[in-house]
C-alpha cells in the first residue's frame, strides 16, 4: 500500500496561512480518494477535506472558504492550503488515501498545526 508523509505543519498566528503537503510513495492519480483529517486534543478525528481521483472536492463546513485541497499527480503530492487560520484549527493533521480495492486505507504519521490566538 501507498506510504504517506506529511509536512508543513508548525506554529502560526491567527489569520495566518500554512500549506501542508502529503507525499505518497507511489502514484496517486488513480487512488479513489485522498483526504486530510485532523484530530485535536480530546476530540474525534474529523474529515477536513477530500479530493477524489476525478478531482471532486469536499470540505468540512468549519473550513469551507478558508482551506483548499489540491493534487499534483506528477509529484505524487496532495496539498492542503490553509488560510485564515483560527485557534480552533489547532490539531494534528493526517493525510489519508483510500481505494475501494485496498484491504485497508493508508494514513500518514501526522503533522502538528498550532494556531495561536
In sequence order, the 6+-apart residues with CB closer than 8 A to the CB of 76 are: 23, 24, 25, 26, 27, 28
CA distance 45 to 72: 25
pLDDT at 21: 98
| Of 9, 32, 30, the residue nearest 96 (C-alpha) | 32
Q: Which residues of the chain have pLDDT under 50?
A: none
Amino acid at each position: 500500500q501507498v506510504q504517506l508523509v506529511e509536512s508543513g505543519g508548525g506554529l502560526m498566528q491567527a489569520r495566518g496561512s500554512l500549506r501542508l503537503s502529503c507525499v505518497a510513495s507511489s502514484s496517486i492519480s488513480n487512488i479513489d480518494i485522498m483526504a486530510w483529517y485532523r484530530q485535536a486534543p480530546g476530540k474525534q478525528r474529523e474529515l477536513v477535506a477530500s479530493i477524489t481521483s476525478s478531482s471532486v472536492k469536499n470540505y468540512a463546513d468549519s473550513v469551507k472558504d478558508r482551506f483548499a485541497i489540491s493534487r499534483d499527480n506528477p509529484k505524487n503530492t496532495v496539498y492542503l492550503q490553509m488560510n485564515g487560520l483560527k485557534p480552533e484549527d489547532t490539531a494534528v493533521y493526517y493525510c489519508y488515501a483510500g481505494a475501494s480495492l485496498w484491504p485497508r486505507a493508508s494514513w500518514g504519521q501526522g503533522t502538528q498545526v498550532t494556531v495561536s490566538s
